[in-house]
């Protein structure tokens, strides 16, 4: 994949088209604390020796082939052009590894040789990159992993709390149903860490309500599979009181509409199609997504670490739930954009606000 290189000098000429970073100072301790929340009370903090900027930052992306990844990379490109960010960056480069661990290792090794100050990583493997990450850190390079994080304690890991996401969805449904009835739980891809964490968070809540029963199926984070497994469940269960859904839940809602079943409270990740249907059909819903803007937060963490600021070794980025009543066309969902568009493109707690045009078109 062709490399993308953006210099701060070039960026300065096109800032007007890319919006502005909400944080006045990317490295202010109070602002950093609002964005990067320690994973647990015992999570260690990291404070490195400050380096003079501006900095050379490389981005190693494991996979490029779905809408989320496209938005994520567009957000990264737009973010480094914003005035509050561009002044810290002399060079920014993206490389895509095709979800190949060996290729990503080789690319990171070239970044080490290229004299980069920081490397931001969406990893192809939790442990397969550990050796080259440790090598980078030993060369004085800051390494920040996000989304698909890594297991070495040499990197700073940033993600959203998947267990909390699952828990919040379950709490919403418990409240909406009064803690009674059957919950259809349309999970993601069986056996994955994200699905396990989301599911465990949900079941910890559901088990507290004796009046709730839970039927679990797997939708593989795919709209078509979600629609099929939900339709199959509805053919044998006509008393579903709520649907716990994640990525691909647009299909679950489509299944209800297809068979003309009574619409019930539902949850979803931030799929534009789901939100459009929820508003149109007045479905009580709670949407929480894995934001593609995590890339921008990771870049901010790299800049802060290079500046000598204190950060958690493992940090959770605050979640931004949206209910049906809070959905606003053109603000947090987009009627004119494809159903597959991921809508949570801003992280206000981290000062990340990207114009929708930059997310869609990469400009």
Q: Considering the domain boundaries, does residue 277 fall inside one? A: yes
As a whole number of angstroms, the distance between CA 155 and CA 128 comes to 13
Residues 156 and 25 in one domain: yes
The strand pair at 142-146 and 285-287 is best described as: unpaired
What pLDDT does 94 receive?
97
Reference 312, options 139, 146, 128; nearest CA is: 146
Q: Considering the domain boundaries, does residue 170 fall inside one? A: yes
What pLDDT does 67 receive?
86
Torsion of CA 94, 95, 101, 106, to 10 degrees: -110
Residues 223 and 300 in one domain: no
Per-residue pLDDT of 57-100, as tens digits, reads 999 999 887 789 999 999 999 999 999 999 999 999 999 998 89
Q: Considering the domain boundaries, does residue 186 fall inside one? A: yes
HSE, CB side, 13 Å, CA atoms: give it for residue 81.
23
Residues 154 and 170 in one domain: no
273, 224 Cβ separation under 8 angstroms: no
- The secondary structure of residue 191, as a DSSP letter, is T
Peptide bond before 202: cis, by omega within 30 degrees of 0? no
What pLDDT does 52 receive?
95
Residues 90 and 130 in one domain: yes
As a whole number of angstroms, the distance between CA 152 and CA 313 comes to 10
| CATH assignment at residue 172 | 3.40.50.2300
Residues 58 and 10 in one domain: yes
292, 340 Cβ separation under 8 angstroms: no
Residues 301 and 278 in one domain: no
End-of-domain residue from the set 221, 255, 287: 287
As a whole number of angstroms, the distance between CA 225 and CA 73 comes to 27
Taking CA 302 as the corner, what is the angle to CA 299 and CA 306, rounded to the nearest 5 degrees?
145
What pLDDT does 363 receive?
65
What is the maximal distance between C-alpha atoms in the chain?
65
Q: Considering the domain boundaries, does residue 333 fall inside one? A: no
Q: Considering the domain boundaries, does residue 336 fall inside one? A: no
End-of-domain residue from the set 287, 303, 318: 287
The tokens of 148 are what?
């698909």
What pLDDT does 21 receive?
43
Residues 197 and 236 in one domain: yes
Residues 205 and 324 in one domain: no
130, 124 Cβ separation under 8 angstroms: no
Strand partners, 6: 92
Q: Considering the domain boundaries, does residue 110 fall inside one? A: yes
Which are the contacts of 214, defined by CB distance < 8 A and separation ≥ 6?
182, 183, 185, 203, 206, 244
283, 266 Cβ separation under 8 angstroms: yes
Q: Which stretch of DSSP H or E encloses residue 185? A: strand 181-187
The tokens of 275 are what?
């939100």
Residues 283 and 295 in one domain: no
| Torsion angles phi and psi, residue 272, rounded to 5 | -60, -40
Residues 283 and 303 in one domain: no
Number of domains within the chain? 2
Residue 8: domain span: 4-160+291-328+343-361
The tokens of 305 are what?
């670490």
Q: Considering the domain boundaries, does residue 335 fall inside one? A: no
The strand pair at 4-7 and 118-122 is best described as: unpaired
Residues 198 and 253 in one domain: yes
Q: Considering the domain boundaries, does residue 259 fall inside one? A: yes
What pLDDT does 19 receive?
41
Segments of the chain with pLDDT less than 70: 1-24, 363
Residues 203 and 276 in one domain: yes
């Amino acid at each position: 994949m062709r490399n993308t290189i953006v210099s701060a000098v070039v960026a300065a000429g096109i800032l007007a088209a890319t919006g502005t970073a909400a944080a006045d100072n990317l490295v202010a301790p109070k602002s950093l604390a609002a964005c990067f929340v320690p994973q647990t009370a015992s999570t260690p903090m990291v404070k490195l020796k400050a380096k003079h900027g501006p900095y050379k930052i490389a981005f190693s992306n494991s996979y490029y082939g779905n809408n989320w990844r496209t938005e994520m990379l567009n957000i990264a490109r737009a973010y480094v052009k914003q005035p509050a960010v561009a002044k810290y960056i002399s060079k920014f480069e993206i490389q895509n590894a095709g979800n190949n661990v060996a290729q990503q290792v080789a690319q990171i090794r070239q970044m080490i040789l290229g004299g980069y100050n920081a490397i931001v990583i969406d990893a192809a493997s939790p442990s397969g990159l550990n050796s080259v990450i440790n090598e980078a850190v030993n060369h004085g390079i800051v390494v920040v992993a996000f989304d698909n994080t890594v297991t070495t304690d040499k990197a700073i890991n940033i993600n959203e709390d998947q267990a909390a996401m699952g828990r919040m969805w379950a709490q919403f449904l418990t409240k909406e149903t009064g803690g009674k009835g059957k919950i259809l739980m349309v999970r993601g891809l069986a056996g994955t860490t994200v699905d396990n964490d989301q599911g465990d968070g949900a079941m910890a809540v559901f088990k507290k309500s004796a009046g709730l029963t839970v039927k679990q199926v797997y939708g593989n984070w795919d709209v078509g599979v979600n629609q099929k497994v939900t339709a199959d469940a509805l053919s044998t269960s006509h008393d579903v009181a709520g649907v716990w859904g994640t990525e691909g839940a647009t299909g679950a809602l489509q299944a209800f509409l297809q068979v003309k079943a009574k619409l019930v409270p539902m949850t979803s990740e931030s799929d534009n199609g789901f939100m459009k249907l929820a508003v149109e059909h007045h479905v009580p819903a709670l949407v929480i997504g894995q934001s593609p803007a995590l890339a921008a937060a990771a870049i901010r963490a790299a800049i802060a670490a290079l500046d000598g600021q204190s950060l958690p070794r493992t940090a959770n980025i605050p979640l931004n739930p949206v209910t049906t009543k809070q959905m606003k066309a053109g603000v947090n969902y987009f009627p004119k954009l494809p159903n597959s568009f991921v809508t949570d493109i801003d992280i206000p707690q981290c000062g990340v606000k990207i114009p929708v045009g930059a997310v869609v078109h990469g400009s």
